[in-house]
């Protein structure tokens, strides 16, 4: 009986892991986005001019977003590791979209985290990027 229970638990864990992997939400920071939604030159770290520079923030949900409007909340991570609110970008989307992107300009160096949520505040995805000056 114990062996059967262990086997059942392992099977359930593998199924859950497979579902999460297949439907993983990803935020890419990249130089541009192809017409079919693939990031070009994505990275978790970018170097920009001291006057500011822009990146595309690509959100690939792996499923339809089922909302008309999303919010991207940006937080800067201070030297103590605390997230400090920086800005919010709002964007209209189509409920059938599985991916979308927005060009975002950064003016300060540092580590940033972005939280993407639907119009009701339901979290969709998040990602982190490090910005450095030349």
Residue 24, pLDDT score? 82
Q: What contacts 131, CB < 8 A, 6 or more positions away?
A: 45, 46, 47, 48, 53, 106, 108, 109, 110, 111, 112
Q: Looking at residues 93-119, what average pLDDT do you find?
A: 97
- The answer to whether residue 114 scores a pLDDT higher than 70 is yes
Residue predicted with more confidence, 15 or 70 = 70
Residue predicted with more confidence, 3 or 92 = 92
For the domain made up of 25-133, give the CATH fold: Immunoglobulin-like (2.60.40)
- Residue 17: which pLDDT band, with cuts at 50, 70 and 90? very low
């Amino acid at each position: 009986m114990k062996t059967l229970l262990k086997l059942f638990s392992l099977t359930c864990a593998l199924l859950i892991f497979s579902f999460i992997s297949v439907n993983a939400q990803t935020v890419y920071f990249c130089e541009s986005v192809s017409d079919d939604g693939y990031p070009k030159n994505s990275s978790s770290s970018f170097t920009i001019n001291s006057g500011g520079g822009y990146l595309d923030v690509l959100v690939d949900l792996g499923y339809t977003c089922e909302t008309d409007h999303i919010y991207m909340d940006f937080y800067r991570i201070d030297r103590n590791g605390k997230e400090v609110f920086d800005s919010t970008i709002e964007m209209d989307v189509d409920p059938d979209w599985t991916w979308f992107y927005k060009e975002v300009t950064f003016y300060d160096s540092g580590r940033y985290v972005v939280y993407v949520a639907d119009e009701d505040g339901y979290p969709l995805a998040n990602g982190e990027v490090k910005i450095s000056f030349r």
